Structures are given as structure tokens and as C-alpha cells.
């Protein structure tokens, strides 16, 4: 893991991101005296923004320096498409800028109290082109990707505090539907007894912005981990892991809809080997109760890597235990020909891993064949695991030759991974 320079003092980036409050004095001096910190992941020692967040400070990527960071080991690395200005279509729902992400979502952040709920906010056009909007899940995945939380760089650990720092850095300076993102989205900070008053004050400030009057309902979005759904007379109370400060409620209808859409994430609730990340859209009811009106959720491994199934969680946990470097590609938006389940980044060439957990399903088998043909045509090396057969299968796929298949037991292939 890279080191960072804070006003002449060298610290581990991993430690600073996990708990910035431990380094408050160093961060404050770096911001006040130098105007920045430095990442020591590469010879260019790229600058880092020391950003105020409530009463604290966090580190964030300096604008347009993503490619200066170490691609394989630094969490501040950003590929050319995400870093270079002017490469995005004006109609894209997510447009990075020098000050932050400009997002257009299909959920309204302000709603008229009377009359129909409007659509996804501004319909601004650029160069005569209607800008597309994205859903909550796409937004959540985009934030996770921008924070490099979909990658494992061989870190020693990753905590809720690390996620808080990286996600907060993504949100600050951005906008949703032309409104400041930091005023709409609140990332829940992990509980710390010595900072409870500060953490609660930030949360209360966010909740105070979720208001309802005679003309409008101002909504807020809470990025958190769901701890439990408690049945109530007219629906459920939603308990979040990081705080019991707020009483949140949702209808039975919305619960059932979300449970069907995000079954994987919901199955992780209460399971210590898996986690979940949820983006909850809140508004006040007529009686002032905090009510969920929409949400999106992701299934995560125990180290907060996004996964699509319990089989992927098992594989991600194993790769972390083996200190492998790998990526979990996220779909969000785009027209990629295929989305691998994982990519091993510490082998040459990089190797795709596909987890086929639904063998026998006709549509699934057709998609599997399509992926195999794509990898064969592209010359991509692919490892396949069909958990129901308890074997992992290696396919060496090239455009000139037929696939050669070698079968190993699960334990054998784990050692090879």
C-alpha cells in the first residue's frame, strides 16, 4: 500500500483512509501550510486534496492526476477515460469534471407537495441533445467504482472507515440534477465512541435538510449498510448498522419490490461473511416521519467488494485471503460486449474469472455460450467456475485454436490462483 506525505511526515495511505481523525493534526497542517498532501505511489508524487468534511479532513484525488498514480497499487489511480476532460458524451448521465461528478438521476430530489411527482429533475440539453438519466443502482455502482472499491490492490484490510473516506471524497464537489451532491447524499460514518457527538451532529444536519412544507418535499439520500427490517403494522422499520439515531420506515409494497430487485443484497443482512451497501431515498411524511420512497442495494463481500451472488462472495473472500490483486467490473451504464465476473490483475496477461452458478437455465446457458465465443474471438484467457459441479475449469481461449480445457478440483485451482 502506498505512503502519503502530510506536511513532511510520511504515513500509510491505508491507515489515513481508514481513520482520518487519527491524523487530524497532520492533515490540518498539510492543508494550511502546503495546501495539499502528496501521494508517494509514483516518482511524480502527485498532489492530493486535503478536503474538509464536517469538522474533519479527508484525502481526495487532485483533479486530472488519476493517471499519475500507480495503476496496480494505488487507490487514487483513475483510468484515462475517467480522468481525461472532454471524452464524455454530453448526453451521458455521469460526467466527471474538475470539481466533481455531475450526475443526472431519474429520481427527483425535490418534489411538489401537491400534484404529480415530476421526473428525474432537470431536462437540460447540451448541443441540442437530450441528456440521459441513470437509476439509483447505476449511481451507487459508479460511486463505488470511482472510489476504487471494486478493486483489491492486495491491501491488508478494508474497513467501513476506508469506504467512508473514499466515498465521501467522490461525493464532495459533485452535483445531482444540478444540485450540490453533498447536500443530498450523506455517507454514514462508522461508529466511534470518542467522536460520537461529531458524527451524530453531521447526521442530524443531513436529516434536518429532509423537510416538507406546504409546497415541496426535499429529499435526501442515505448511503449506509442495512442491519435489519423490523416488521411494523403498516410495513417495516429500517435499522442501519452505523447508527440508531434515526427512525426510518418503509411500506410493505416498497419492501417487497426491493427484496425482489436486490435479493442478493437483502440476503446478506445479518450475515457476518457478507455485507450490503444501500442508497436510501428519504422524505418526510405528512406527520414528519422519515420514510423511504426508493432505494438501491448491492451485495458485498466481507471486505466491501461488490458481488452478484453468494458464490462470487465466496470467491472474492478467497482471493482476498490469498492477497491477490483483482477487479470486479461493474455494469452501471455503457455498452460493453461483456462484463466479466472478476479480472485477475496480478498475472500476465490479465485473466478473466467467470462464476457460472445457474447451470441448466436455458437463457443463462445461452449467455454463457455468448461469453465463451467473445473471449475466444478476443484471445482472452478465462477461468470458469461452476460451483454446482464443485470444480473450477480453466479455459485457454485463443482466436486460432480450439479451447483446451483442464479440470482441477476446487482446492487445486485455489492454490494456482
Instruction: Dump strand ranges (E) for 342-381.
Output: 342-344, 351-355
CA-based nearest residue to 143, from 101, 175, 177: 101
Alpha carbons 104 and 385: distance in angstroms, whole number: 37
Tell me: the pLDDT tens digits for 60-117?
999 889 899 998 889 999 875 554 555 667 888 999 887 889 999 999 999 987 655 4
Instruction: Characterize the bridge pairing of strands 100-103 and 175-176.
Output: parallel
Burial per residue of 119-142, b for 16 or more beta-carbon CB atoms within 10 angstroms, e otherwise: ebbeeeeeeeeebebbbbbbbbbb
pTM: 0.87
**Ranges of residues in the chain whose predicted pLDDT is under 70:** 80-88, 114-129, 332-336, 390-417
Any alpha helices (H) in 40-149, and if so which ranges? 80-83, 136-146
Alpha carbons 276 and 291: distance in angstroms, whole number: 20
pLDDT at 356: 87
Alpha carbons 68 and 50: distance in angstroms, whole number: 18
pLDDT at 334: 60
Amino acid at each position: 500500500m502506498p505512503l502519503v506525505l502530510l506536511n513532511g511526515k510520511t504515513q500509510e495511505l491505508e491507515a489515513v483512509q481508514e481513520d482520518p481523525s487519527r491524523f487530524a493534526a497532520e492533515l490540518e497542517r498539510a492543508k494550511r501550510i502546503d495546501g495539499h498532501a502528496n501521494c508517494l505511489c509514483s516518482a511524480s508524487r502527485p498532489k492530493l486534496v486535503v478536503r474538509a468534511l464536517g469538522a474533519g479532513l479527508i484525502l481526495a484525488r487532485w483533479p486530472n492526476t488519476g493517471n499519475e498514480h500507480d495503476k496496480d497499487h494505488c487507490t487514487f489511480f483513475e483510468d484515462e477515460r475517467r480522468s481525461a476532460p472532454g471524452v464524455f458524451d454530453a448526453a451521458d448521465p455521469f460526467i466527471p469534471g474538475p470539481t466533481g461528478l455531475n450526475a443526472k438521476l431519474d429520481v427527483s430530489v425535490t418534489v411538489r407537495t401537491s400534484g404529480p411527482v415530476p421526473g428525474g429533475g432537470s431536462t437540460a440539453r447540451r448541443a441540442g441533445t437530450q441528456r440521459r438519466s441513470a437509476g439509483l443502482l447505476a449511481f451507487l455502482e459508479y460511486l463505488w467504482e470511482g472510489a476504487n472499491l471494486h478493486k483489491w490492490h492486495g491491501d491488508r484490510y478494508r474497513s467501513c472507515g476506508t469506504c467512508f473516506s473514499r466515498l465521501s471524497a467522490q461525493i464532495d464537489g459533485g452535483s445531482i440534477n444540478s444540485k450540490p451532491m453533498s447536500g443530498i447524499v450523506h455517507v454514514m460514518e462508522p461508529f466511534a465512541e470518542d467522536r460520537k457527538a461529531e458524527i451524530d451532529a453531521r447526521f442530524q444536519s443531513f436529516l434536518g435538510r429532509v423537510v416538507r412544507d406546504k409546497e415541496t418535499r426535499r429529499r435526501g439520500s442515505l448511503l449506509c449498510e442495512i442491519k435489519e427490517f423490523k416488521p411494523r403494522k403498516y410495513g417495516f422499520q429500517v435499522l442501519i448498522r452505523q447508527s440508531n439515531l434515526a427512525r426510518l420506515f418503509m411500506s410493505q409494497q416498497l419492501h417487497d419490490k426491493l427484496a425482489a430487485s436486490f435479493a442478493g443484497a437483502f440476503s446478506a443482512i445479518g450475515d457476518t461473511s457478507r455485507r450490503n451497501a444501500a442508497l436510501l431515498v428519504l422524505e418526510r411524511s405528512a406527520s414528519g416521519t422519515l420514510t423511504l420512497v426508493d432505494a438501491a442495494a448491492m451485495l458485498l463481500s466481507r471486505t466491501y467488494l461488490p458481488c452478484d451472488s453468494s458464490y462470487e462472495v465466496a470467491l472474492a473472500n478467497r482471493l482476498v485471503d490469498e492477497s491477490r490483486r483483482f477487479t470486479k467490473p461493474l455494469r452501471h451504464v455503457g455498452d460493453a460486449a461483456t462484463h466479466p465476473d472478476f479480472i485477475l490483475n496480478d498475472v500476465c496477461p490479465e485473466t478473466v474469472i467467470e462464476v457460472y452458478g445457474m447451470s441448466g437455465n436455458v437463457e443463462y446457458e445461452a449467455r454463457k455460450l455468448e461469453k465463451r465465443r467473445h473471449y475466444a474471438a478476443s484471445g482472452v484467457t478465462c477461468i470458469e467456475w461452476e460451483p454446482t459441479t464443485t470444480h473450477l475449469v480453466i479455459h485457454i481461449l485463443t482466436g486460432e485454436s480450439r479451447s483446451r480445457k483442464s479440470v482441477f478440483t476446487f482446492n487445486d485451482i485455489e492454490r494456482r490462483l
